[in-house]
Chains A and B, each alone.
Chain A
Amino acid sequence: MIDRAPRRPVYRSLGFHVVLCGASLIMLYPLLWMFASSVKPNAEIFESASLWPAHWNFTAYPRGWNGLQVSFGRFFWNSMVISVLSVCGNVLSCSLAAYAVSRLKFPGRNTCFALMLGTLMIPYQVTLVPQYILFLNLDWVNTWLPLVVPKFMAVDAFFIFLLTQFFRGLPRELDEAAVMDGCSPWRIYWNIILPLSVPALATAAIFTFIFTWDDFFGPLIYLSDIENFTVQLGLRGFLDSAGQSDWGAMFAMAVLTLLPVLALFLFFQRLLIEGIATTGIKR
């Protein structure tokens, strides 16, 4: 749906190509420079804006990996576990809620749906302090629980909407036929609706993963023990300590933290772009 439009021959749009190539080069220059800097000796980072290292040097990677008292591998493990659990929780809880408001009938359904709409408008700062106090009293601070458990409670209403819109597009006859055959709502949800909704579920899963992987604020307030740090906190710790003198190692780790997101983009570009174009999801 996105890629159609009359093509014009290259020679007639040469001017556009020049503008676009120039603009993308300027935009991507910092990213490319960061990658180049991760394989330059430190002295060269400060000396040149070149994208091609004069001296190739890969020692920044092991230096960065072991640059803090805890290895970066630990941060990657933590981030991966938190992100994967968040994806499971978010997709499961949001699809349950979406199934209820899109396919089941019960009193109060409209009210619930309106309330979901309403929660989209509430900024997180408002619930921040009481949530923190709640988790503090549950003794969950400095564990992953405050970052993961809310994801199992469909707190991110946007994904309920995304899935609701998709579920509504599925033919109702499916449910009716299944009910005739004696299927319970749970079996209709699990065996019919979910398998038919893989593209929407995948879009929700990918965006949840990227948002969780990149999340800085949540880990910042809830995780204080370096053993529990996510990659984002690890990078920040690096910036505050060794990073000031060892930018090569800093950039090496920064590049590594971007790789999972880049990989998702490479494999699921279509889903991501269509997700943005059709729902206006941010990022």
Chain B
Amino acid sequence: MRQHHRARLTVLDVSVPSIATAPQQTRVRRRRRPSLAGYLFLLPWLAGFFGLTIGPALASLYLSFTNYDLIGAPQFVGLANYVRIMTADSKVADSVHVTLLYVAMSVPLKLGFALAIAMILNKGIMGLPIYRALFYLPSLLGASVAIATLWRRVFAGDGLLNHVLLQFGVVGPSWVSDPNTALYTLVALSVWQFGSPMIIFLAGLRQLPKDLYEAASLDGATPRQQFWRITLPILTPVIFFNMVVQTIDAFKAFTPAFIISGGSGGPINSTLFYTLYLYQEAFGYLRMGYASALAWLLVLAIVAVTAIAFVTERLWVHYDD
């Protein structure tokens, strides 16, 4: 279901097509056909848009004001679901806490690694395509159940990491089953997949104007000054894009937490992502109304975070125009 929620570069530079001035007079007959054709070509999309997107979204808004267990009719309960989420459900508080921690740790680390490796790869070293492929590999494979199960083994008490640590005389804890460390294994899994933002950074770095650096060197700017004064400001639109996409994606992460905790969000709710809790409510307890309310609050949270990002954008993102 991952495919439903990807914000994209294209989104940023898409221009809405302008209605071309309609051909006049004699071509009336001709115009009619293309216009009908347009709707025919759009038919599959229109069916999906109304039947699978807007219709269900409105239905879910209605269900969020009801109690519904798939048996019988939904019972209207007003704001009760929202009130319970806000005030009476400690698992919501736990899951919000876990999710925010996860977002706050994984996104900056991931982007940091992505930018650092992209900068090195951009030095014009040999073997760039090979390195790029190697660093991208975890991103390519990381969303699969195979990697999540591998992770569970790597961070188990008798797992790979502790074997390696033992070589250095360190006795590691059982990372996945210790509530103090379980979330960090998921953060590590996310950061490990820094390959795709790295590729986007790499494409951005290639666009940097060479003459600016030559001028700066002539004026005696150190590499460090060049990085802070030239590279970073020019890259801010790319950083912004990666940040928004990765943040929204982190809010919606599901599979790794599900596999690593065996679907429970444990130990002691320490990996109970908000999406995982929503899944438990909907498909574990069949509280469809309550789950719909949780879903709408997730939308509000994502909209709010995105809005904050775009409002603060002008404070630090430079577009040359």
A residues with CB within 8 A of B: 1-8, 10, 13, 16-17, 19-20, 23-24, 27-31, 33-34, 37, 45-49, 92-93, 96-97, 99-102, 104-107, 109-110, 112-117, 119-134, 136, 150, 152-156, 158, 160-162, 164-165, 168, 184-186, 189, 208, 210-211, 214-218, 220-221, 232, 235-236, 239-240, 243, 247, 250-251, 254-255, 257-258, 261-262, 265, 269, 272-273, 276-283
Contact = CB atoms under 8 A, between A and B. Distances in A.
A49 B164 contact: yes
A110 B38 CA distance: 12
A136 B52 contact: no
B139 interface: yes
Given A254-B146, A279-B8, A131 B56 contact: yes
22 contacts: A8-B123, A31-B141, A49-B167, A104-B38, A105-B38, A114-B16, A128-B295, A129-B60, A129-B292, A131-B52, A131-B56, A134-B51, A161-B10, A189-B41, A215-B1, A232-B145, A235-B145, A239-B145, A239-B262, A247-B153, A262-B141, A280-B241
Nearest to A165: B10
Given A28-B134, A261-B140, A126 B299 contact: yes
Nearest to B133: A269
B131 A20 contact: yes
Contacts of A273: 132, 136, 199
A280 B10 contact: yes
Contacts of A46: 158
Contacts, number: 347
A129 B55 CA distance: 12
Given A129-B282, A156-B3, A261-B141, A24 B41 contact: no
Nearest to A257: B146
B140 A48 contact: no
Given A5-B122, A16-B125, A160 B45 contact: yes
A270 to B, nearest CB: 9
Q: Which of A109, A132, A251 has the most CB of B within 10 A?
A: A109
Nearest to B130: A24
A129 B291 contact: yes
Given A17-B127, A97-B42, A232-B145, 8 more contacts: A31-B150, A96-B42, A128-B295, A129-B63, A153-B51, A185-B41, A235-B146, A278-B9
A34 B306 CA distance: 38
Given A2-B206, A3-B128, A113 B16 contact: yes
B96 interface: no
Contact of B144 (A161, A208, A214, A282): A214
A186 B125 contact: no
Given A109-B17, A214-B143, A243-B149, A3 B129 contact: yes
A133 B295 CA distance: 15
Given A7-B124, A93-B44, A96-B44, A127 B53 contact: yes
Given A101-B17, A261-B144, A273-B136, A156 B10 contact: no
Given A117-B11, A129-B63, A155-B48, A104 B41 contact: yes
Interface stretch (B77-85, B103-111, B214-222, B248-256): B248-256
B283 interface: yes
Contacts of B60: 126-130
A133 B151 CA distance: 34
Contacts of A105: 19-20, 22, 31, 34-35, 38
Contacts of A160: 45
Looking at chain A's contact residues, is the secondary structure mostly helix, strand, loop, or mixed? helix
Interface residues of B, number: 116
B59 interface: yes
A-B residue pairs, 6 tightest by C-beta = A153-B48, A106-B38, A280-B9, A254-B146, A130-B56, A100-B41
A114 B14 CA distance: 10
A154 B45 contact: yes
Given A251-B150, A254-B146, A254-B150, A49 B160 contact: yes
Contacts of A45: 153
Interface string B149-178: 111111000101001100100000000000
A2 B199 CA distance: 9
A106 B149 contact: no
Contacts of B282: 128-129, 132
Contacts of A112: 42, 45
A46 B143 CA distance: 25
B47 to A, nearest CB: 5
A150 B2 contact: no
Given A129-B288, A136-B70, A106 B35 contact: yes
A279 B56 contact: no
Contacts of A1: 206
Interface in B191-206: 192, 196, 199-200, 202-203, 206
B232 interface: no
Contacts of B262: 239-240
B259 A236 contact: yes
